[in-house]
Amino acid sequence: MKKSLIALAVAGALTAPMIAQADATLYGIAQFRGVAEDDKSFNSKMAKTRLGVKGTVDNDIEGLTTGFQFEWEFDGNGSATSATNSSSVAMRKSNVYMKGDFGILSLGRQNNPANPAEAMTDILGNDSAAFHMNPDRLGNVVAYVTPTFGGFHAVAAVISEGSSDTDSDALGADDVDATVLAVNWAGAGFGVAAAITNVEGGTTTANVDGSAVTYSASADAFVATTAAAEVADFDIITAGVNYTGIENVYLAASYSKKDTDGTSVEPETIDLAASYTMGKTTLAAIYSVHDTDVSGEDDQEQFLVGVRYALGAKASVGVDYASYNSDAEDAGKNDTLTLEYTLSF
């Protein structure tokens, strides 16, 4: 608890002067979920407790915008019988940027440039994006975003995690540990996004966040699955499209595929999503299929339906139900009913 309080105090002490001297916005989200999952007891929890600050600071160069964004995640649960929660504070985003006619140069922990394609079908809550392959954010990033021309822009990002032993084969020993190239276009009611992520392999002696063998949905990171494992280079190819040209209707599809050096196994995921809004009520559905490409294994499938009711511009309640086939259940997924209450500011 002391470490958490110290971390929060330091964060407040560091950001307070910046907020006072900059054009800054404080924002956050709080979400409570009641989760009824097959083969597990009911769980009532704070699923999201986030606080962030973003803004710009003055500079002396005409046409140049210099800005920042910091965002923290707090564990709102901990021990149910404890008066306080002693869990640590997690950093979701920490970046600075420069923006001008040349585009945007963004540095630090930030949204994954490959995420927009998969995010098109991530339209519900607890069980949404069950088979997605990319983490939402990446750290140690240097990213360049082109200006937008005719609805089109591109992003190139380099991830350099750093290592004390550049002669070793360890993960993180390369000057460039991962790269992301992404393109995005919007027009005529359509949105299109595509990306390729390349992660350099090596030898790992512990789980590594950000540059290892596979994407962990629970950790929202690339992690090594086995200690002292040889990790091959791999690519993740992602594409997505959405359509908003019909009033109150949203349609989307996304595709992801992982290609690992030295193996013919190439898992892939397809997601289809749709929603319809009637006043303050939105009905949504997602169908997902994940092909592990492993001999003897059938496709894992999910069907997710949900409804959201807007209590206001920044408050809503909702309910989702996720159903999985037997192959997905064998992989650890369970049918789940989720109730949500969300506030944002």
**H or E stretch covering 284:** strand 281-291
Q: What percent of the chain has pLDDT over 70?
A: 81
Taking CA 266 as the corner, what is the angle to CA 219 and CA 296, rounded to the nearest 5 degrees? 100
CB 134 within 8 A of CB 215: yes
Of 81, 137, 90, nearest to 109 (Cα)? Answer: 137
Instruction: Label residue 162 by pLDDT band (50, 70, 90).
Output: confident
Structure confidence by residue, pLDDT tens digits, 294-332? 988 999 999 999 999 999 999 999 999 999 999 999 999
Question: Distances from the Cα of 97 to the Cαs of 20, 38, 56, in angstroms?
Answer: 19, 45, 9
Average pLDDT for the chain: 87
Structure confidence by residue, pLDDT tens digits, 200-234? 876 544 333 333 345 555 555 565 555 555 667 89
Residue 317 phi, psi dihedral angles, 5° rounding: -125, 155
User: Cβ contacts of residue 68 below 8 Å, gap of 6+?
Assistant: 18, 22, 54, 55, 56, 57, 95, 96, 97
Of 153, 136, 155, 152, nearest to 144 (Cα)? Answer: 155
CB 164 within 8 A of CB 156: no
User: Cβ contacts of residue 219 below 8 Å, gap of 6+?
Assistant: 209
The mean pLDDT value for 79-104 works out to 87
DSSP assigned state of 175? S
Structure confidence by residue, pLDDT tens digits, 100-158? 999 999 999 999 999 999 999 999 999 999 999 999 999 999 999 999 999 999 999 99
- Tokens matching residue 303: 């069907």
Taking CA 118 as the corner, what is the angle to CA 70 and CA 269, rounded to the nearest 5 degrees? 140
**Integer Cα distance of 14 and 150 in angstroms:** 40
Instruction: Label residue 255 by pLDDT band (50, 70, 90).
Output: very high
First to last CA, the chain: 26
Q: Please name every residue paired with 184 in a beta bridge, in sequence order, or none if there are none.
A: 153, 193
**Integer Cα distance of 106 and 158 in angstroms:** 11
The mean pLDDT value for 177-205 works out to 89
Domains parsed from the chain with CATH numbers: 102-344 (2.40.160.10)
The per-residue pLDDT for 208 is: 35
**Integer Cα distance of 141 and 158 in angstroms:** 6
